[in-house]
Structure 1
Amino acid sequence: MPKSFKSLKGQLLLDGGKLGGSFFHRTVVLVCQHDEEGAFGLVLNRPTQTKIGEALVADLPEVLKEQTLYLGGPVQTNALSYLHSDIFLPNASVMPNLELGHSLDSLIELAQSSSPTQKVKVFAGYAGWSPGQLDDEMRRKAWLTHPATLDLIFTPEPENLWKTILRAKGPEYRLLSETPEDLSWN
């Protein structure tokens, strides 16, 4: 009897300690889409040294120009994606009150709006999986899962996100969170 498909959309994937040497070493990925056709996600904890205004050749509002650009994944690093959150987004595509977008025009429109509760995070590139690929990686326990929250997605300290979530998952993950990048440092 075939196993029923379980979507990971709206979940966080964390390197479970088996992705050393790969792009995904110590990453936290938000799964934005996941179905039988494959999966699409954005790495939340890879801020770049680049401001959005330096990366995009467009007439951007000042509030957007000064934000940090994130490296969303190794696929199509010239592709634009963004996550947009606000208090009430009834038809949000990723999870309650969190929308995924790819249009520069829509991003500019959002930045020009005057919502004080709005949050936006912009990414270059994305993480993509072909049909069954993510499911196979989950079976091999390459990833740990954790429920996504807006606070985690828009954390002011993205470089600590992987460790923060692992510590919150309990004592069995604390050792993994404290393992040095290079084991020779031990």
Structure 2
Amino acid sequence: MALDATVGGANADSYATLAEFKAYAESVGFVYTSVYTDGVIEIAMRKATQYLDRAYRGKWKGFRSDRDQALAWPRTSSQDLPVNFLTPSFTTGVIDEDGYEIPSNTIPKQVKEAEYEATILDLGGTDLLPTYARGNAIARKRVKAGPVETETEYMASASARDRFLTIEGLLYGLTSSQPGATSGSGTLIRA
């Protein structure tokens, strides 16, 4: 089944098209042509989109532009800015970290690139949405097989989620915090 990358669509299941992913993959040297079929790539793209929407739920700046849209983007600003301070126009889109408006009918390039990176991780065998036995609250783990021994012990405050810094870096200006981070981020306002 083909991807639905309709911007703001009620049935959209991907932020990008298969052709856009292939162009990105080729530009970063990711070899997919002889390894993955289009159907396998499309499934990975759907999983990548689900990962982004679930991991960053409640962390995206702004709110969905349309109540009936299937995905988190496009978004409308939640900031009380009647005028974009860089251009003399009415602001409805989310303002990125550099002060530029992302129109409320657009999927940002960073979100698409984060989907591509998550797709590459999924195709490489990373489970983006794993199930954790007992919340993955491992205090200590020891595995021994002959002379080989492995031991795992997490800090008390360690997150149960893996962090994907490539994706976090792409989405930095579009979110208020990162999934798996031990602390959030906020905006300081001088009174």
- Between 1 and 2, higher relative CO (CA 8 Å, sep ≥ 6) is seen in 1
Greater Rg, structure 1 or structure 2?
Answer: 2
Common fold: TM-score over 0.5: no
TM-score by length of 1: 0.26
Of Structure 1 and Structure 2, which has the larger fraction of its residues in strand? 1
